Amino acid sequence: MRPSCPLCGSEAGLAFTKLGFDYYRCPCAFVFIWPRPSGDQLLEIYLRDGQEYWTTEAMMRFAFSPTKSSREIAFLRRFRSSGRLLDSANGGVQAIDRNN
C-alpha cells in the first residue's frame, strides 16, 4: 500500500530508505517517512541523535561556528530562486539568526 501525502493527499512513491526508515516522495515534492515512527521511536531518535550527539563540546563548537553558518548560507543562496527561507524545525537556527 502506498501512503497518501500528509500535505496534499496524493499517492506517494518510495524515494529511498535510510537508517531503517522508508522515505516517500509525493508528486507535490514533499518527502516524508512512512510508516510514521511511534512516539517511543521518536523519543529514542531525538535522544540518540539530538541530546547525545549535539551536546558534545566538539559538536557544539562545530554547530555554532560562524564559518559553518556562512558556508550554509552560501550553499542555500546557490539554489534559491528568490524570496525568503522558511526553516521548519530543522535543527539549529544559527543560520537564520545570522540573516534574520
Site of interaction with Zn ion (CB under 5 A): 5, 7-8, 10, 26, 28, 30
| Residue 89: alpha-carbon gap to chain centroid | 7
Phi, psi of 89 (to 5 degrees): 50, 45
**Measured from the CB atom, is 6 or 91 closer to Zn ion?**
6
| Rg of the chain in Å (alpha carbons) | 17
Contact 62, 68 (CB under 8 A): yes
**Measured from the CB atom, is 16 or 75 closer to Zn ion?**
16
Shortest Å distance, C-beta 88 to Zn ion: 15
**Measured from the CB atom, is 21 or 32 closer to Zn ion?**
32
Shortest Å distance, C-beta 13 to Zn ion: 11
